Amino acid sequence: MDSPSSPSPNEPIDSATDVENNTEVEANTNTGSEAWTLLAGHVEGFVAAWDGENAPPSISDFLPDTAGPLRRLALLEAIKIDLEYRWLHHSLPRKVEEYLTEFPDLSDEGFPCDLVYEEFHIRKQAGEDVDPQEYFERFPQQVELIGRHLGIDTPYTPTALFQPKAADKLLEIQAGDRLEDFDLLATLGKGAFATVFLARQISMHRMVALKISADQGAEPQTLAQFDHENIVRVYDQRALPDAGLRLLYMQCVRGGTLHPVVNHVQETPAEKRTGRLLLKAVDRALDDHGEAAPAESSLRKRLAGMRWPEVICWIGSRLADALDYAHRRGVLHRDIKPANVLLTGEGAPKLADFNVSFSSAVSDVTPAAYFGGSLPYMSPEQLEAFHPGHVREAASLDERSDIYSLGVVLWELLTGYRPFRDGHLEEGWTATLDQMIDRRRAGVGEEALKTLPSKIPHGLKTVLLSCLAADPQARPQSGHELAQQLELCLQPRLQDILNPPERGWQRWVLAYPMVALILAAFVPNLLAARFNFVVNNVDIMPLIEAASPLARPTFEKLVMWINGIAFPLGLGLTGYLAFPVFKTIRERGRGVKHSVEQLAQMRNRSLELGHYAACIGILLWTIAGIAYPICFRIVVGSNMPLRVYPHFIASLSISGLIAASYPFLVVTFFTIRAYYPALLTLDQLPRQNFERLSRLGRRTRIYFVLSVLIIFVSILILVAIDTKAKFAVSLLCVAGIVGSYLAFLLYRAIQGDLAVLSIPAIQSGESGDIHSESVEALASGTWNP
């Protein structure tokens, strides 16, 4: 049932990093290790019998006694080995039909296309001119299935889990041997398909991790492209064609893998899990290799102080970034699991084992050629490509399948359990795959959700569930996007800004942005207008009435006309300048797509809304300050007392200060907490206009100082002009104290939010020269934009 065009569950699932004796060929999903050990024993015994006897051994003697999925799998593997020995080594050919006659239960689960595929290609290797039509005639009921699985025009990839020749040679190689240019010092790990040694490369005088495996796969060509801090560096490879082996020497990473870390998680209560758990696993691996942990490591200190969910976010973001690096170079991993993530002595993760990866940059390699992976970590679409009865092909997989696998790993690291309890092997491969696909298509169940710790970073649950979405379109679309989401989980304040609660004032502001803006600008100006009316009515009107009986009705008409014109005009101008921003926000809420440039333009404009409101207010109050005395001069004439002018200037100056500071602070607060985040996408976080955020921070400081000065300047002015509006002055003092306190709260909130919003730009270096200084200040909480 396997072919290059339809990948096989029996294809080698090589693990370069099974360095903790993790032979995770997931034939039995969660209980795969024990089943695999039994399977390996039966099959290796059959290989040894072929090598040690003159007559062909009986397959039945090397099968498990108990009927079931494990016996069927062992039977399939034994037949593949039997075909190879008979056709290629002993000239005792046997065809698939003879096995079907001897073992009729082979057909119970469905036609075994992988056996037909093996026979076809082994006969070609033996020198026969094999006509595919022969197989159509031999199996007329399975023409379509055979035609799809044979893959006549594609390179032959063995479907047998065991390669006898390579397996024998692997068993002969031991620590202490010298192999080619390498002294094998110690065994780091041994899996079913490879052994990893700590070795000294004689010619280069360096220590390396030497992986010895069967000579198949494109891993070295794949990894040779990579230079990333979270991907294991591969130095080179050598082939031993006579032995059918390949030597792959790479960077020696001695902190173990994430596989034993999962065991530690399972053994440790959730409330006691911290970053020290990770370091404990690393130190144990280092101790096994006779090495000490790094004495001075800022990373280890940081990890030791992190809560466990934060450690998961950090590990996940590093691995997602590594995947993005590989994906952008046309490489899919397709075998992401804890055993394939190595740890340095400091605790940093490194992605390894690209042996089943597909690289579009490697010539003559199709995705199907090295398809594999460990079943419990596969995405539903990868399982479908793995399924012999499904039309999906390996070539259809993309980076989102790796995102899914990483999500499974992170869930398992966080909780100690995989999100899907695949349990036991069903009645054969196809039934197992059907069940696994159905579980993943149904989504994460309630039982798995209960394993999540009660205290996790806000948004982490959402991120993990999005990774595990059955629909690839619902997942993060790239490793970069996932890395940003996980890093965001480490910044809870930033996440609160970008993801406001479903029910809260931010949602109301976003639902009615124009109403919120008008209220923010209108209310302070209304209070200023009321104060101005009271002061003028008490201080100015008696002076003007003495000069003209028309003064009071003129004053009341002026107030009505000036306010009737100024307020609608000011609100109209403010709304006009804000309308493009609010229009874009509404369109984004309806799913309308906008270009990066459009969003950046609207974000920049939104940062100016507070300043627009303040400037419009100052302008209109200035015009009013000129209009009032001119109109009174016209009505009263030359009899208008000169004392009136300083009174007008004083009251209008105070009103102007109110009109400038408070609308700015309120509108800017709305902008930073609602409008600006609604125009920001995750991928644009590091590319924000840092200079504009900094400028807004400096401007906010100026307006805050103005708001505090209002109370002092107002009292000084009113005392200087000997105002008679004592009640208004007293009220102004009280209002000024309350207003200054509210302004201080708004100022601190705005400055704090600006600092948090600036973190991605600073960390990415987009902020330029202030990078290191600002990061330290942000970390200590002493920095303001």
Q: Is the pLDDT of residue 301 over 80?
A: yes
Which pLDDT band holds residue 269 (cuts at 50, 70, 90)? very high
Task: Give the bridge partners for 201, in sequence order.
Answer: 182, 206
Q: Is the pLDDT of residue 405 over 70?
A: yes
Q: Is the pLDDT of residue 363 over 70?
A: no
Main-chain phi, psi angles of 238, to 5 degrees:
-140, 145
Largest CA distance in the chain: 134
Q: Which of 124-133, 360-369, 666-675, 760-769 has the lowest mean pLDDT?
A: 360-369
Per-residue confidence (pLDDT) for residue 435, from 0 to 100: 84
Per-residue confidence (pLDDT) for residue 161, from 0 to 100: 53
Terminal C-alpha separation, the chain = 62
Q: Which of 27-31, 86-90, 243-247, 547-551 holds the top average pLDDT?
A: 86-90
Report the C-alpha gap between 9 and 36 in whole angstroms.
14
Per-residue confidence (pLDDT) for residue 120, from 0 to 100: 86
Give the residue-averaged pLDDT of 679-697. 78
Is 258-498 CATH 2.60.40.10? Answer: no
Per-residue confidence (pLDDT) for residue 76, from 0 to 100: 84
Main-chain phi, psi angles of 501, to 5 degrees:
-60, 155
Q: Is the pLDDT of residue 785 over 50?
A: no
Task: Give the bridge partners for 475, in sequence order.
Answer: none
Which DSSP string do the residues of 145-198 spell out, in sequence order? Answer: HHHHHH-TTS------S--HHHHHHHHH--TT-EETTEEEEEEEEE-SSEEEEE
Report the C-alpha gap between 680 and 691 in whole angstroms.
16
Q: Which of 143-157, 382-396, 668-682 holds the top average pLDDT?
A: 668-682
Do 165-250 and 258-498 have matching folds? no
Report the C-alpha gap between 40 and 34 in whole angstroms.
10
Rg of the chain, C-alpha, whole Å = 37
Per-residue confidence (pLDDT) for residue 21, from 0 to 100: 34
Reported pTM: 0.67
| Cβ within 8 Å of residue 449, ≥6 positions away | none
Which pLDDT band holds residue 426 (cuts at 50, 70, 90)? low
Nearest one of 525, 457, 442, 530 to 491, comparing CA atoms: 457
Give the residue-averaged pLDDT of 398-404. 94
Q: Can you tell me which residue has the tokens 């990893």?
A: 196
| More confidently predicted of 209 and 657 | 209
Residue 107: CB atoms within 10 Å: 10
Q: Is the pLDDT of residue 596 over 90?
A: no
| More confidently predicted of 605 and 625 | 605
Q: What is the pLDDT of residues 53-84, one digit of tens each?
A: 778 999 988 888 877 777 887 888 889 889 98
Give the residue-averaged pLDDT of 435-440. 89
CB of 700 closer than 8 Å to CB of 749: no
Q: In the CATH scheme, what architecture does the domain 165-250 have?
A: 2-Layer Sandwich (3.30)
Name the DSSP class of 373.
-
- Total residues belonging to the chain: 785
Indicate the domain borders of the chain: 29-160, 165-250, 258-498, 505-780
Q: Can you tell me which residue has the tokens 């390949």?
A: 246
Phi-psi sector, 330: left (phi>0), alpha (psi -120 to 50), beta: left
Q: What is the pLDDT of residues 759-777, one digit of tens each?
A: 776 665 554 443 344 444 4
Average pLDDT, the chain: 78
Q: Which of 407-411, 600-604, 761-765 has the lowest mean pLDDT?
A: 761-765
| Ligand-binding site membership of 211 (annotated) | yes
Task: Give the bridge partners for 234, in sequence order.
Answer: 250
CA angle 220, 222, 227 (to 5 degrees): 95
